[in-house]
Amino acid sequence: MTKLSATQVRHIAKLARLEIGDDEVEKYAKELSAILAYIDQLSEVDTSKVQATAQVTGIKNGMRPDVVNSSPVDREALLATSPLPIVDDQIETPSAHG
């Protein structure tokens, strides 16, 4: 069974933009390692004779018409709901600073 290191768990958390404390690293290392072990177990199953399936409901091309509806709310009203600063008609997020 592959066991994730503390460094790997911290890296995964960083990629997911999650802040985890040192006390959580060991917990997540165990949980993520168990998930990876289950995936390894699934990869041992012979699926060579199983037909590929995209979906199982039987619905074919279940799409609705693409209709554009006008909105009763204007851009300024939507932007005004943000507590973040508005720069050039866009909401500026903290991650946009670098």
Query: What's the mean pLDDT in 60-68?
Result: 86
Look up the CATH number of the domain holding residue 38. 1.10.20
**Exposed e or buried b for every residue in 22-57, given b needs 16+ CB within 10 A?**
eeebeebbeebbeeeeeeeeeeeeeeeeeeeeeeee
In a domain? residue 29: yes
User: What's the mean per-residue pLDDT of the chain?
Assistant: 89
Which residues span the domain enclosing 27? 6-43
What's this model's pTM, rounded to 2 decimal places? 0.49
Q: Confidence class of residue 2 from pLDDT cuts 50, 70 and 90?
A: confident
